[in-house]
Amino acid sequence: MHCIFVKGETMSFGLDKNDIDASKLYSDFQFSTVDQLIGIFLFGPLKPAIAAFE
């Protein structure tokens, strides 16, 4: 299921010169794939933020 829904390995088409990738439209954003995010959350989770309440 991971290969199908996250990695998209069942898709058998690529972009040609007339197609526009989202990273070209929004060049000021840094994109991460779902697979990269799963790796971060499973193998190197971020430390929770500490909040101070007064």
- CA pair distance 7, 27, nearest whole angstrom: 22
Q: What is the pLDDT of residue 12?
A: 67
Provide the residue ranges of all domains of the chain, joining segments of one domain with +.
1-12+33-46
Is the pTM of the predicted complex or chain greater than 0.85?
no
- CA pair distance 40, 23, nearest whole angstrom: 21
- CA pair distance 33, 26, nearest whole angstrom: 15
In tens, the pLDDT along 2-52 reads: 777 777 677 667 778 888 877 788 888 888 888 888 888 888 777 777 776
Q: What is the pLDDT of residue 54?
A: 59
Q: Which two tokens stand for residue 14?
A: 């690529």
| Type of residue found at 36 | Q
Residues recorded for the chain:
54
